[in-house]
């Protein structure tokens, strides 16, 4: 496992020190981070089209980050991925994710989003990256709760279409040798294990269809986030280290009662302030040989982001596990395998 790293999306602004990639990279390096996950849609961070086309630009981008003291861990197309599949009920809500000239034009907006993902595959390869973060988008989300009763085949049709849209994108990532990792997230059609399995079926088990593991989204769904690793570890290629808490009451639970984040039973918290068993998570990921980055995604309704970032690097570093080079009981010896039959009384 590599890290600590941090996702820049929640930090970039028009004010220093987060107004440019170089300034943000230097600040994060001083805070103890070794890597930064870069939002590809933010022009303060990068020019995605240029990165897909120019090796010189990618070398210069990576060099600037190294000079600041960090590596680029992965690129992200969360906002563009959302636009690959948008139910008409959410057209207005997600229009701001697209360039101004495409707003109000769902077909053109989707085509732009698909092109963005394909550019990200090329840019990732030029930067020497092997994994990429995104969202799946959603066609079936308005119907996640079966009331009124869903017509037979509705969910199947939604995932068939989702697979049709993503299959050529997955093929493009395969051509570049990069895993496409979906952050399983409420609001996306891929939001838990069962929906990820539906999607895998729709893309014929595509080898590049993988998971960005973020336990905070499972806590807020009352899922077993440790068992999730046992089940899906072969597909977990990215890791967001994000804390959360879920404190249901007599008034509200998983759905939150339309409350603001600070008043919801389920809330995202800065690392160490929530309920997540990170010792268990890091242990399981190490057990299964996860070798990607451990990336802080900071989201908290209480704490200042800079305080959360400063606390996050040592928290992640303290939880990372270095695998031993030999078994702890090697000192006791195991005998000679040639004598196994004698040990069993078979000679």
pLDDT per residue as tens digits for the range 275-291: 999 999 999 999 999 99
What whole-number distance in Å separates Cα of residue 126 and Cα of residue 160?
32
Residue 188 is predicted with a pLDDT of: 98
Query: Does 116 score more than 80 pLDDT?
Result: yes
Task: With CA atoms as reference, report the closest residue to 43 among 70, 69, 71, 8.
Answer: 8
Rg (CA), the chain: 22
Structure tokens at 326: 């030999």
Taking the CA of residue 74 as centre, how many other CA atoms within 13 Å lie in the half-sphere pointing to its CB?
Answer: 31
| CATH number of the structural domain spanning residue 223 | 3.20.20.150
Mean pLDDT for all residues in the chain = 97
Q: Residue 99: exposed, middle, or buried by beta-carbon count in 10 A (0-12, 13-18, 19+)?
A: exposed
Query: Does 334 score more than 80 pLDDT?
Result: no
Helices (H), 95-148: 106-126
Give the percent of the chain with pLDDT over 90.
94
pLDDT digits (tens, 9 = 90+) for 198-231: 999 999 999 999 999 999 999 999 999 999 999 9
Q: Using the CB atoms, write b or e for 18-39: b if 16+ within 10 Å.
A: beebebbbbbbbebbbbbbbbb
The answer to whether the beta carbons of residues 87 and 45 sit under 8 Å apart is no
Structure tokens at 249: 């009451």
Helix H or strand E encompassing 142: none
103 preceded by a cis bond (ω within 30 of 0): no
pTM for this predicted structure:
0.96
Our count of domains for the chain comes to: 1
The answer to whether the beta carbons of residues 79 and 97 sit under 8 Å apart is yes
SS3 234: helix
**What confidence category does residue 347 fall into, taking pLDDT thresholds of 50, 70 and 90?**
confident
Query: Does 146 score more than 90 pLDDT?
Result: yes
Q: Using the CB atoms, write b or e for 56-89: b if 16+ within 10 Å.
A: ebbeebbebbeebbbbbbbbbbbbbbbbbbbbee
300 preceded by a cis bond (ω within 30 of 0): no
Domain containing 208: what range?
A: 2-343
């Amino acid at each position: 496992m590599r890290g600590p790293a941090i996702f820049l999306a929640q930090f970039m602004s028009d004010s220093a020190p987060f107004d440019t990639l170089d300034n943000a990279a230097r600040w994060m390096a001083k805070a103890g981070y070794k890597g930064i996950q870069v939002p590809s849609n933010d022009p303060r961070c990068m020019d995605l089209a240029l990165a897909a086309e120019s090796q010189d630009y990618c070398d210069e981008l990576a060099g600037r980050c190294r000079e600041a003291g960090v590596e680029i861990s992965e690129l992200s197309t969360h906002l563009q991925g959302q636009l690959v599949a948008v139910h008409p009920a959410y057209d207005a809500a997600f229009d701001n994710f697209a360039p101004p000239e495409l707003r109000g034009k769902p077909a053109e907006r989707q085509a732009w989003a698909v092109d963005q993902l394909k550019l990200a595959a090329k840019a990732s390869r030029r930067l020497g990256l092997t994994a990429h973060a995104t969202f799946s988008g959603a066609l079936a989300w308005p119907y996640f709760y079966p009331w009124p009763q869903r017509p037979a085949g509705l969910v199947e049709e939604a995932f068939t279409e989702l697979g049709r849209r993503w299959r050529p994108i997955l093929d493009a990532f395969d051509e570049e040798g990069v895993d496409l990792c979906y952050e399983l997230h409420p609001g996306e059609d891929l939001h838990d294990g069962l929906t990820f399995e539906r999607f895998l079926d729709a893309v014929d088990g595509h080898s590049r269809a993988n998971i960005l593991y973020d336990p905070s989204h499972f806590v807020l769904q009352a899922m077993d986030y440790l068992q999730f690793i046992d089940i899906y570890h072969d597909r977990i290629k990215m890791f967001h280290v994000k804390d959360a808490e879920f404190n249901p009451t007599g008034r509200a639970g998983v759905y939150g009662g339309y409350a603001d984040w600070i008043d919801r039973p389920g809330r995202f918290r800065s690392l160490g302030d929530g309920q997540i068993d990170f010792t268990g998570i890091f242990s399981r990921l190490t057990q299964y040989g996860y070798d990607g980055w451990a990336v802080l995604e900071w989201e908290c309704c209480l704490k200042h982001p800079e305080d959360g970032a400063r606390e996050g690097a040592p928290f992640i570093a303290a939880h990372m596990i270095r695998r031993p080079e030999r078994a702890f009981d090697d000192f006791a010896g195991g005998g000679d395998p040639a004598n196994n039959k004698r040990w069993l009384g078979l000679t």
